[in-house]
């Protein structure tokens, strides 16, 4: 078992009668990169600010390294922080921006010099040392903001949507840089994002939040493969939701026992299947059903087909069923809109949820 670095116990935050966080319990291991992921307004920033001590919880406790720091001001928590907007000092050079905190600590000039140069090397921006923030690209500015946070040798790093102001290509590059630096330094990092791809590619652990609550916590593969609620299934990746069975000939239920168990708990059972967990069958069989290709989208790595049902007894939550197919198979079968095909759900890939 790895050491617990941060322990949040029954954290609650109210603004007047509005609940921004309701009973958050969360443990974060030393050295992990944890993404707080969720839709706008779910409480991600509020939780980050409570961890930082910039905001006081209405109830509950924050433990860092086993110490109750709930009443500590931010200055006693030793973290580095980077926000969405760069927040570099515009009138200072890169060097001065990074040296700022060290100067305030009255370190000797030679030591400041050494630390600034070392950290600039780490973020691969040594050549930019004399520039002013406005002479740097957005991605470079964010890496300087990261260097400015890291140069203080914090115990942990807090990042609030640090990449969201960057365009897609730069975001991908900086994302990789942050992750490899974080792993190299082994620094515990908590990053807020509402971008599921960012969370899936960067995090050791994803904490999915919605409506002031933690919905699920787990590794990226765990939350993707085993979502425990329809919200998480839908928020991370794409998924089709449907109710009911197919015609008598095509029973799509692959796990009867599980379905019966769940049905006892609630009247309505929601089934779900990711678009990549569908396959075409050559011949209509017991667990397949016929669909019509309504629309075809090219996605670069393959095609997404939008299918309409041709049989009753099953209702989709959306108008069409999405199905991802490789380019190779798409051309091999020379598919086009209007075609009728037989498909089935891959074995063990159906999800069951109680209807919310
Ligand atoms: N100081 C405040 N006073 C009143 N309400 C607040 C305050 N700060 C945040 N809230 C409310 O708390 C809720 C959570 O806000 P928070 O900023 O944590 O959301 P978020 O998940 O970070 O959203 P986003 O992705 O848009 O940044 C929101 O409904 C917000 O309006
Ligand atoms: Mg926020």
Q: Is residue 200 located within the same domain as residue 270?
A: no
Q: Is residue 29 located within the same domain as residue 58?
A: yes
Q: Is residue 40 located within the same domain as residue 149?
A: yes
- Which residues span the domain enclosing 347? 240-354
Ligand 1 lined by 17 (C-beta under 6 Å): no
Q: How far is CA 318 from CA 110, 225, 294, in A?
A: 64, 21, 13
Of the residues 21, 46, 196, which should be mutated to test ligand 1's pocket, given the most ligand atoms within 8 Å of the CB?
46
How close is the Cα of 140 to the center of ligand 1, in Å?
A: 28
Q: Is residue 223 located within the same domain as residue 331?
A: no
Element (H, E) at 354: strand 351-354
Q: What is the CATH number of the domain that holds 185?
A: 3.40.50.300
Which residue CA neighbors atom 17 of ligand 1 most closely?
45
Last residue of a domain, one of 234, 253, 270: 234
Give the chain's domain count.
Answer: 2
Q: Is residue 90 located within the same domain as residue 56?
A: yes
- CA distance linking residue 222 with residue 46, whole number of Å: 25
The tens place of each residue's pLDDT in the chain, 356 residues long, gives 579 999 999 999 999 999 999 999 999 999 999 999 999 999 999 999 999 999 999 999 999 999 999 999 999 999 999 988 768 999 999 999 999 999 999 999 999 999 999 999 999 999 999 999 999 998 899 999 999 999 999 999 999 999 988 888 889 999 999 999 999 999 999 999 989 999 999 999 999 999 999 999 999 999 999 999 999 999 999 999 987 765 444 455 556 666 666 666 656 778 899 999 999 998 877 778 889 999 999 999 999 999 998 876 667 777 899 999 999 999 999 999 999 999 998 988 889 888 76
Q: Is residue 84 located within the same domain as residue 223?
A: yes
- CA distance linking residue 10 with residue 213, whole number of Å: 11
Q: Is residue 52 located within the same domain as residue 178?
A: yes
Q: What is the CATH number of the domain that holds 247?
A: 2.40.50.100
Q: Exposure string (b/e) for 65-75, b if CB count within 10 Å is 16 or more?
A: eeeebbeeeee
Q: Is residue 335 located within the same domain as residue 194?
A: no
Element (H, E) at 209: strand 205-210
Q: Is residue 200 located within the same domain as residue 267?
A: no
Q: Is residue 35 located within the same domain as residue 170?
A: yes
Which residue CA neighbors atom 5 of ligand 1 most closely?
15
Q: Do residues 220 and 198 lie in contact, with contact meaning Cβ atoms separated by under 8 Å?
A: no
Ligand 2 (ion): residues with CB under 5 Å are: 45
Which residue CA neighbors atom 10 of ligand 1 most closely?
20
How close is the Cα of 170 to the center of ligand 1, in Å?
A: 27
Which residue CA neighbors atom 9 of ligand 1 most closely?
46
Strands (DSSP E) contained in 110-163 are 156-160
Q: Is residue 63 located within the same domain as residue 190?
A: yes
Q: How far is CA 229 from CA 155, 330, 333, in A?
A: 34, 32, 35
Ligand 1 lined by 194 (C-beta under 6 Å): yes
Last residue of a domain, one of 180, 212, 234: 234
The CA angle 331-332-335, to the nearest 5 degrees, is 55
Ligand 1 lined by 189 (C-beta under 6 Å): no
Q: Is residue 197 located within the same domain as residue 278?
A: no
Last residue of a domain, one of 176, 199, 234: 234
């Amino acid at each position: 078992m790895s050491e617990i670095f941060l322990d949040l116990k029954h954290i609650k935050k109210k603004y007047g009668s509005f609940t921004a966080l309701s009973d958050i319990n969360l443990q974060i291991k030393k050295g992990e990169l944890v993404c707080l992921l969720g839709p706008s307004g779910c409480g991600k920033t509020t939780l980050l600010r409570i961890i930082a001590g910039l905001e006081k919880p209405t109830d509950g406790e924050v433990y860092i390294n086993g110490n109750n720091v709930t009443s500590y001001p931010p200055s006693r928590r030793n973290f580095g922080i980077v926000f969405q907007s760069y927040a570099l000092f515009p009138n200072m050079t890169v060097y001065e921006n990074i040296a700022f905190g060290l100067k305030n600590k009255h370190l000797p000039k030679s030591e400041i010099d050494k630390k600034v140069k070392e950290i600039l090397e780490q973020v691969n921006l040594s050549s930019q040392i004399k520039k002013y923030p406005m002479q740097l690209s957005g991605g470079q500015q964010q890496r300087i903001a990261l260097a400015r946070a890291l140069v203080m040798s914090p115990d942990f790093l807090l990042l609030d949507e640090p990449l969201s102001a960057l365009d897609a290509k730069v975001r991908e590059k900086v994302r990789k840089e942050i992750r490899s630096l974080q792993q190299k330094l082994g620094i515990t990092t908590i990053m807020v994002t509402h971008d599921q791809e960012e969370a899936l590619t960067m995090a050791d652990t994803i904490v999915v939040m919605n409506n002031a609550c933690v919905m699920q916590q787990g590794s990226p593969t765990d939350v993707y493969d085993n979502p425990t609620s329809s919200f998480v299934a839908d928020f991370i990746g794409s998924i089709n939701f449907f109710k009911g069975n197919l015609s008598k000939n095509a029973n799509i239920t692959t796990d009867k026992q599980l379905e019966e168990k769940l049905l006892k708990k609630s009247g309505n059972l929601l089934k779900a299947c990711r678009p990549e967990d569908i396959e075409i069958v050559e011949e209509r069989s017991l667990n397949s059903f016929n669909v019509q290709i309504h629309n075809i989208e090219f996605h670069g790595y393959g095609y997404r087909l939008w299918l309409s049902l041709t049989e009753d007894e099953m209702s989709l939550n959306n108008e069409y069923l999405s199905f991802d197919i490789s380019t190779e198979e798409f051309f091999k079968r020379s598919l086009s809109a209007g075609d009728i095909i037989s498909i089935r759900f891959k074995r063990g890939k159906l999800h069951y949820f109680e209807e919310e």
